Amino acid sequence: MSRIVPVAQRFFRKYPFITNSVVYGSLYVGAEYSQQYVSKRWKPLSEEPEPIDYATIGRYAVMGTTIYAPSLYVCIHL
């Protein structure tokens, strides 16, 4: 475990663009999953819970890591 932290720190400092993309994509996917979980699973007992739409979450992952994160990175570092 003690070797992983310095390696990760070097990677994050050396490749800030990739780090930003992974972090932003994770936050984007986590927010969409949380929203779906709350809106589809927390129903009254009389209603059947709906399944989570993993295809949509996959689309959010692609958009969050390949489109939105790079554009935000460029805007911030201009």
pTM of the model: 0.76
End-to-end CA distance of the chain: 36
Q: What is the pLDDT of residue 1?
A: 64
Contact 28, 60 (CB under 8 A): yes
Which residues touch 70 (CB under 8 Å, ≥6 apart)? 17, 21
- Domain total of the chain: 1
Question: Does 5 fall in a domain?
Answer: no
Question: Does 25 fall in a domain?
Answer: yes
What is the full per-residue pLDDT of the chain (78 aa) written as tens digits? 688 999 989 998 999 888 889 999 999 999 999 999 999 888 777 788 889 999 999 999 999 999 988 888 888 877
Question: Does 7 fall in a domain?
Answer: no
Question: Does 6 fall in a domain?
Answer: no
Question: Does 69 fall in a domain?
Answer: yes
Full residue range of the structural domain in which residue 58 is found:
15-76
Nearest CA among 12, 28, 14, 10 for reference residue 71? 28
CA distance 26 to 10: 20
